[in-house]
Structure 1
Amino acid sequence: MKNLGIKISLFLIYFVFAALLNSVGILVERSQEVYEVAKGDAAFLELFKDLSIAVVSFVIGTFLPKLGYKRGMLISLALVFFGCIGMYYGNSFWSVKILFAVTGIGFAIVKVAVYALIGFVTDGKDDHRRLMSFIETVFMIGIIFMYVVFPLFYNDDPNGWLRGYLLMAAIIAVAFTIILFSKFNIEVAQKNTSIREDIRAMLRLFLNPVIYVFAIFAFFYVMTEQGIMTWLPTFNKETLHMDAKLATQMAVILMASFAIGRFITGMLVKKIKWIYIALFGLLGAAVLVLVVLPMASNVPEMQASKLGDLPLVSFLFPMIGLFLAPLYPLISSTVLSATKKTDHSALAGILTFVSALGGTLGSVIIGNLFDLLGGNKVFYLSLIPMSIILVALFILNRIVGKSS
């Protein structure tokens, strides 16, 4: 298979960073339980992750081709390796903050590298969308791994859960070794320009209407996704009255539905136009919120510790991932395919930057309004960004259709 080594590297590193990056939902719950942190303070964990992503991605989008994609990926893995070791031995809320800061820095580099490299290892728009969907599927599998494996370390030892980070450090070491010995036969045209000039060139991309509409889409999509993903374990624990271990494990349904949705998208994208898949997913997600979420108001106040005790809403609401899943890879691929390959790295930097800001805002809003509105009502707020996404989809479809 053409560029097999590079594709394996992309899958592997995305798996690792998915597991770490999206453990924020677990650590929001753990910080409240173990470190006795208030919800509002726990919500700002997302800020440590996303602010570092935003700052680094703004610069790295134009600089990474000069540094080298492979070198950047190896640096990212080294950062999170030491972050995991620091988490195990530090065992404090500050250790959690530092872990997310270095994970954010590493992910900013990795996401730009992955999104840029996809354009060099695929042929045509459909092939690009297909690989993008499959890579995002692997991303969700990484999250599932974290939500399934981490609760296995919960036991009578209050620090037992930290051993999960030793496991992650070992996996990162394996990923580092495999990528180190993989061949990257990609030649990227280099420009002899300064970082300031590179950033100006990246900002000039906004002169293209499709780029700023795309930025609006990415901001509000990630706001919706991260708000739900980060606070679902807390929703399960406090609103649906599950014990801590089961609350985290049940969040796997959300991650699995995302993975299945993106895998199906990868299979359908050559047969159905992207806009129809995206509209079906978005409207399906909105209907699910309106139909299923009211069930959370009628859950009896008794702690559930096994599957047989769980209310129907705990199985149905996480299925929102099945509907939201196609949006991010489809729209990202559509816009990347409509731009020159030499601009893909800079465009990936823009995407990562606005996604980070949207993720932080979504998590902070849900976290700070969770107690005020109640867990049974707070996720209705997701309908607001969904409405904005709907408008953005129609505009993107019109612009991209004209350019085609």
Structure 2
Amino acid sequence: MATMRIRLSLLLTYFVFAILLNSVGTVILQVIHTYQISKEAASVLEGFKDIPIAVVSFVIASFLPRLGYKLALQLALMLVTLACIAMPLLPAFWTTKLLFFTVGASFALVKVSVYASIGMVTHTKAEHASLLNFIEGGFMLGVLSGYWLFAAFMDPAAPQSGGWLQVYWLLALLCVANLLLLSSTPFPKLVLPPTRALRQDFIAMLQLVYKPLVFVFVLSAFLYVLIEQGIGSWLPTFNNEVLQLPNQLSVQLTSIFAASLALGRISAGVILKKLSWYWLLNSCLIAMALLILLTLPLTRDIAHNADVNLLTAPLAAYLFPLIGLFMAPIYPVINSVMLSALPKIQHAPMTGLIVVFSALGGTTGSMITGYTFASFDGQTAFYLSLLPLSLLLLSVGLFHRQSQQLAVSAA
């Protein structure tokens, strides 16, 4: 019973943060209209989210096992509750920056704690991979819910209005409810090695990068998140400006991307029982490239239609977001392979490195896409994702080779 409560609290915490973290694409679209912000200026919101994730993870990941994962999750939820309340009370672009800064810093605590806690409540590699995919699938369901939640508070007749900010009262309430559940859930104690200086824990985390398997892994994680955030953060704006869709419909149709990611991650748990993770990821990467090459030509020269709706939107608006279906298994699979290869006591520092390089990849991808979008067009910005996609195909091959060599040496 206690284990189920822990799993539920981890899932719901991840669910709430999924809504907030992945609202950046929707918020970019809204602040451009509400606060009259340029695309270049709006693109920094990804940095305000991701840089704190990287910095906080880098600094405290090795310390979290001693602080306690439950306390870290509680602290994160309290901070984000206050930031959500500030959004409708102090409507301004700087408040939006503050929100994503707080969400980013708090998510660093959440992700390290959730990933490390998974190792505490699972006992086999298969169980670890299954629970990780399930929680990541729940994360994507949170992302999907977020698009429709934000869209419900938008006024299609007045895209410049600030009515959408009222959604943050509901998000603050969700954080409080989750905090109450978490506070009433007992967490098991992690058996720690003898106490040593924080500096030694930090150095031990950095030394993980010197392992060839870890180095290739963090490169793969960086490239994956660069692609995912580059597409996910700018898909609402792509729908709005390239496909000529209104704001509310642009956000609603972006939910197909999140639904595809959720379905792909949940399905991966079943597929991986019958297929090697390496062949699955290679198939997914090739399918992603083909979808980009086949779908983006359909987005050229689309005329504005004032009466467009969910049933009459351009075909590309439904086809391109399906890239999430093939993208979905990559991140949780490589994370699970990496964490399963390490002792449980190293899961927190390893997750710290995962979060750091994921955050750097997310910021890089969003800013490159934003500047390319502003300087050229949306099609060019999304075509450029083929470059990191090719590099990711190569790095996954190297990661597979290194993991095989580790397994042989361990045997």
- Do both share a fold (TM > 0.5)? yes
Q: CA deviation at 1:68?
A: 0.3
**Amino acid of the residue matched to residue 185 of structure 1?**
P
Q: CA deviation at 1:309?
A: 2.5
Are 1:244 and 2:257 counterparts? no
Are 1:277 and 2:264 counterparts? no
- Say if 2:15 and 2:138, in contact at 8 Å, map to a contact too: yes
User: How do residues 4-403 of structure 1 correspond to structure 2 at under 5 angstroms?
Assistant: 4-155=4-155, 158-303=161-306, 305-403=308-406
Measured against aligned partners, the alpha-carbon deviations of 1:246-279 in whole angstroms (never above 9, x if no partner) come to 0011100000000000000012222211111111
- The 3 A distance-change label for structure 1 pair 319 and 304 is farther
Give secondary structure in 2 for the equivalent of 1:309. coil
Give secondary structure in 2 for the equivalent of 1:224. helix
Q: For 1:354 and 1:303, locate their aligned partners in 2 and report how far apart those are by CA, in whole Å.
A: 42
Q: For 2:6 and 2:59, locate their aligned partners in 1 and report how far apart those are by CA, in whole Å.
A: 24
Measured against aligned partners, the alpha-carbon deviations of 1:47-76 in whole angstroms (never above 9, x if no partner) come to 111110011000121010111000000000
Q: For 1:262 and 1:75, locate their aligned partners in 2 and report how far apart those are by CA, in whole Å.
A: 28
Q: CA deviation at 1:303?
A: 4.1
Q: For 1:149 and 1:382, locate their aligned partners in 2 and report how far apart those are by CA, in whole Å.
A: 28
Measured against aligned partners, the alpha-carbon deviations of 1:158-188 in whole angstroms (never above 9, x if no partner) come to 2221110000000100000000000112323
- Say if 1:111 and 1:352, in contact at 8 Å, map to a contact too: yes
**Amino acid of the residue matched to residue 262 of structure 1?**
R
Give secondary structure in 1 for the equivalent of 2:187. coil
- Say if 1:304 and 1:310, in contact at 8 Å, map to a contact too: no
**Amino acid of the residue matched to residue 8 of structure 2?**
I
- Say if 2:2 and 2:185, in contact at 8 Å, map to a contact too: no
Q: For 2:263 and 2:384, locate their aligned partners in 1 and report how far apart those are by CA, in whole Å.
A: 25
Measured against aligned partners, the alpha-carbon deviations of 1:202-257 in whole angstroms (never above 9, x if no partner) come to 01111210111011001110000000000000000000000011001110000000
Measured against aligned partners, the alpha-carbon deviations of 1:327-373 in whole angstroms (never above 9, x if no partner) come to 00000000110111111100000000000000001000010110322
The list of structure 1 runs, each at least 4 consecutive aligned residues, that deviate by more than 6 angstroms after superposition, is none
Q: For 2:31 and 2:90, locate their aligned partners in 1 and report how far apart those are by CA, in whole Å.
A: 14
TM-score normalised per structure 2: 0.96
- Aligned-pair Cα RMSD in Å: 1.2
Q: CA deviation at 1:190?
A: 4.4
Q: For 1:167 and 1:99, locate their aligned partners in 2 and report how far apart those are by CA, in whole Å.
A: 15
Give secondary structure in 2 for the equivalent of 1:148. helix
- Say if 1:32 and 1:39, in contact at 8 Å, map to a contact too: yes
**Amino acid of the residue matched to residue 289 of structure 1?**
I
**Amino acid of the residue matched to residue 113 of structure 1?**
S
Q: CA deviation at 1:307?
A: 1.7
Give secondary structure in 2 for the equivalent of 1:193. coil
Unpaired stretches in structure 1, ≥5 consecutive residues: none
Percent same amino acid among aligned pairs?
A: 42
**Amino acid of the residue matched to residue 92 of structure 1?**
A
Q: Which moved more, 1:152-161 or 1:121-130?
A: 152-161
Q: CA deviation at 1:300?
A: 2.2
Unpaired stretches in structure 2, ≥5 consecutive residues: none
- Say if 2:120 and 2:190, in contact at 8 Å, map to a contact too: no
Q: CA deviation at 1:308?
A: 2.8
**Amino acid of the residue matched to residue 269 of structure 1?**
L
Measured against aligned partners, the alpha-carbon deviations of 1:274-301 in whole angstroms (never above 9, x if no partner) come to 1111111111111100111111114223
**Amino acid of the residue matched to residue 17 of structure 1?**
F
Measured against aligned partners, the alpha-carbon deviations of 1:145-168 in whole angstroms (never above 9, x if no partner) come to 110111111136722211100000
- Say if 1:57 and 1:112, in contact at 8 Å, map to a contact too: yes
- The 3 A distance-change label for structure 1 pair 304 and 285 is farther
Q: Which moved more, 1:150-159 or 1:393-402?
A: 150-159
